[in-house]
Each structure stands twice: as structure tokens, then as C-alpha cells.
Structure 1
Amino acid sequence: MQDKIYFIELNEDKKYEDYKQYHSLLPLEKQQKIHKFRYDIDKKLSLIADLFIRFLICQNLKLNNKEITFEKNPFGKPYLLGNPEFHFNISHTRNAIAIGISGNPIGVDIEKIKCADLKIAKRFFSSNELEYILTNKEDSFFYEIWTKKEAYIKWDGRGLSIPLDSFDVTGGPIDKMLRMVTIHGYIISVCSRQDFNGAWCMELAEDSVPVCLQKIL
């Protein structure tokens, strides 16, 4: 299995209802959870993210979709039951999804670059991280730190039970596990002990997603 990050930017013209035929690929509990979202964009983000990771599992592990079962660790991080060699992580923000797969633990986070809230940085970032942001004075540097910190706590598996100001992503051993890419105004950070060599981030248009999903119907 090749370790890789997948980036999918959603097309606002493509409706949530266009995916109706794929709903049955998900467990009923997951379908009901998606339907509870108020806005179609949130429904579509969750639906496509869940469906695409299933596609990747089927392709890489040669499993049937019905054989896929997800569980969560005590801190809420999902994992694939019965396949400890397969690791994945999902992140989505408005209109875009990032999914990482690896043979080792992995954490992924994606954010759209917009006006940064420095109050968040002052409250949750280390002094080195805050200085890094204030010195560079661009919104993208805030989101670089934010996504790297999120990717790290997701990699660790304990999530927000780890205080965000208790570690620093601007140097040291944590920084060596982090990689970042900017695509179409989004920042994606990945945390892993695995070296992501070559074309480690694959960009997909939403129109290509149904072609993939047809393979697991």
C-alpha cells in the first residue's frame, strides 16, 4: 500500500441528492447521522468522506464494502477493525476533504485560509508558535500552525485531551513528523513517522468521485 493524501474539493453545483444511490453503502446508523445535518454541504462532506475511505480500503485491502467495520479508540479516533496494518485519517472543512492512508499511524487536518483569529493563537499556541505567526504576519502562517497541531493530536490518537499549548510544532521531534501542502487556498498538514516521498498528495475533482464509488456498489 502506498502512503498517500487525497484532496477533494467539492463542486457547489453538484447536489447532495446526486449521491442518493450510494447511501446504502453506509451503515444505517451513519446514514441517519448524515441526514441530521442541517445544511446540504455538511451532509455531502460527511457522505463523500465516508464513502471515499471505503473505496480506498476496498482497493488497497481487496475487501468487500460489507466486510468493512469501523471502531473508535477511547478518545474517539476511528480505526478499521481487524486490519491493524491499515491506518487512515479524515479531515474536512467547508467545500474540501483531505484523507490520508498509511501503513503507520497518521493524522491529517485541512483548513481554508481566511482571516486569522489571533485570539486563538494567543490562547492555544506555544510562545514559539505565536512568535512565528506574529513575525510572518500572514494568515497562512496561522493555519499552518493550526493544521499541524491538529494533525499531531490526531496522529497521537488522544485528540483534544492533549492541551494544544503543551507542545510545539515549530521545531524538535514533532516538526520532523510533519508535512504541509497548500492547494487552492487550503492548507493540508499530515503527521506520520512515514516518509511521504514523491507525489504524496493527490488532487481529485468531485466529478471523479462517483467513478470510484461505482467500483464498490
Structure 2
Amino acid sequence: MRLPRDEVAHAAETACEPDRPDERVKLYAVKAERPLPRELHAQFLALCSPFRRDKLRRYVREEDARRSLMAEMLLRAALRKDWLKRSDGVPLVFEENAYGKPNLTGVPRVHFNLSHSGDWCACAVSESPIGVDVEQVRQQELGWADKLLAEDEKIELHATAGIERLKRFFEIWTLKESYVKALGKGLSHGLNTFSVAKTSVSRLEPYRVTGYWLDDRHPAAVCALAAIPQQWTILSPNGVGNLLVNDIEAMRGECRE
């Protein structure tokens, strides 16, 4: 795992300094590029939330459904590992707000966000609002992108060429998406109304953003009110399953009753 991109870390520092030094922020990721073993897939499917099942039915491509399922299981594993142990007696029940952002029912002190693209699923958890985005760098023309970028972002992007321009676009995109997702209002907050450019004088206060590369093809970004860590917890699908063993067993017990 690469450390955060230097230029993005600098942009975050100029945007604002964290005023919540005691709040935790933890980042998690899992690779989901291969189909799950049949038994593990069945267990995850039985455990997932009703609104997630509805989403899975609407996907056309199997790999999109797989990433969506894996993203919720990553979240559940992260919560059980570091935030809400099963011994705490807190059930993991999710609901979506009016903008489609999922929340943990009855646990207002825990905030989270999910993203998935290409080979990766990402999850960020905090004690205050947070956003995360991961994208797969894909070859494409960028003529359409200008209308979604602030002026200084356009200047920065057009100062590069070829693959570097493409990679920089996806870096900018993940940073902007993570900010919008932290706000929790969907795309009602126009993407061209704020800037994450390296030379930007815009302020995202009270939020800060940090960017990463999960691998050579997948940039990611996190936006939070509290200090953002450099390290991610990387889990395998089996590792996710191991953290959910007790939840899976409890679900089986309920089905037998």
C-alpha cells in the first residue's frame, strides 16, 4: 500500500487543520476481483441487509453485484473488529437517508461510508461524518470532464498529458466524491462549486481530504472532520468471513428457530 499522495496531503493541510483530535478514523479495504467461494457467497448473501439485496437484484453484471455485496460485508467486519463487538449486544441494522447514504440504525456515534470500483471495495468509519471513494483508472476521453471541475482543477488537469492526465483526473474525482459523500447529500452539492486542486485557495472547512493509491490502477480518497490515518486495514474475503463468524452462526440459529 502506498502512502498518501504528497500533493493531496498538502492540499488537505491547507484546507483545514483537524479540530477533533480525539476522534477515531479507520480505513478498510478488500480485493473483490474474483468470485467468492459458493458457501461464503451464500453466507454473505443471507447476512446482508434488505436494501442491499434489492440493490443486488438490480445489477446486470455479476461483478458489480459481487463488489456491492462485498462492500457491505467489509463494513460489517470492520464494525465487529473495531467498533461494535457482538458481545456489546448491538445489532447491525442499516437504513438509507433521503440521499441514499446508508446509516447504522440506533448508533449515531458511528459514521461510515463505502465505495467499490474495479478490483477494490473500500470502507471508512469514524465518530463523525466521513466519505470515501475508490475508482479504477479506465482509458477514456476527458472532454466531458471540464463541466464538473472548478477552474483551477481544469488548469491543473490540462497541464498534464497522456496517462498522467488520466490518472490525475481520477485522483481529483476521488477527492471530490469523498467530500460530497462526507456531506451526505448526494450530487445535490455541485462538483464544480468547490476545488481540491493542489494550488486551490478554496476551503473545505471543517473537512479535510487525503488521497491514496490502493494499487497502480485504483486511486482512493477519504474526507473527514477528524485526522485521517495513513494506513489501511487490508482484509481478504476469507478474513472478512472470519470476522463475521459469530454473526453468521447467530443468523443460522435464528433460521432454525
**TM range, normalised to the smaller chain?**
0.7 to 0.9
Of 51, 71, 91, which residue of structure 2 is paired with 1:49? 71
What are the superposed Cα offsets for residues 149-200 of structure 1, whole Å, 9 maximum, x if unpaired?
Answer: 111110111110111111111233228701000121210101112112352x
- CA, structure 1 residues 148+61, in 2 after alignment: closer, same or farther (shift >3 Å)? same
Unaligned runs of 5+ in 2: 1-22, 249-257
- Structure 2 residue aligned with 1:189: 221
- CA, structure 1 residues 120+98, in 2 after alignment: closer, same or farther (shift >3 Å)? farther
Alpha-carbon separation, structure 2, partners of 1:198 and 1:99: 14
- CA, structure 1 residues 84+148, in 2 after alignment: closer, same or farther (shift >3 Å)? same
Alpha-carbon separation, structure 2, partners of 1:34 and 1:190: 25
SS at match of 2:159: helix
Of 159, 168, 178, which residue of structure 2 is paired with 1:141? 168
Q: Confirm or deny that 1:206 pairs with 2:216.
A: no
Judge conservation of contact 2:35–2:66 (CA < 8 Å) in 1.
Answer: no
Q: Counterpart of 2:235 in structure 1: which amino acid? A: L
Alpha-carbon separation, structure 2, partners of 1:121 and 1:30: 30
Judge conservation of contact 2:29–2:74 (CA < 8 Å) in 1.
Answer: no
Report the TM-score when normalising by structure 1. Answer: 0.88
Moved more, 130-139 or 11-20: 11-20
* Residue 41 of structure 1: how far off its partner (Å): 1.0
* Residue 120 of structure 1: how far off its partner (Å): 3.0
* Residue 28 of structure 1: how far off its partner (Å): 4.3
Alpha-carbon separation, structure 2, partners of 1:32 and 1:16: 20
- CA, structure 1 residues 127+17, in 2 after alignment: closer, same or farther (shift >3 Å)? farther
Alpha-carbon separation, structure 1, partners of 2:38 and 2:160: 39
- Structure 1 residue aligned with 2:185: 158
* Greater per-residue strand proportion: 1
- Structure 1 residue aligned with 2:6: none
Q: Counterpart of 1:140 in structure 2: which amino acid? A: K
Report the TM-score when normalising by structure 2. Answer: 0.75
- Structure 2 residue aligned with 1:39: 61
Judge conservation of contact 1:7–1:96 (CA < 8 Å) in 2.
Answer: yes
Alpha-carbon separation, structure 2, partners of 1:88 and 1:69: 13
Judge conservation of contact 1:57–1:63 (CA < 8 Å) in 2.
Answer: no
SS at match of 2:124: strand
Identity %: 28
Pairwise CA RMSD: 2.4
The 5-angstrom pairing of residues 64-79 of structure 1 reads 67-79=91-103
- Structure 1 residue aligned with 2:252: none
- Structure 2 residue aligned with 1:94: 118
RCO comparison, higher one (Cα < 8 Å, 6+):
2
The 5-angstrom pairing of residues 98-177 of structure 1 reads 98-137=122-161, 138=164, 139-170=166-197, 171=200, 172-174=202-204, 177=208
SS at match of 2:245: helix
Judge conservation of contact 2:80–2:243 (CA < 8 Å) in 1.
Answer: no
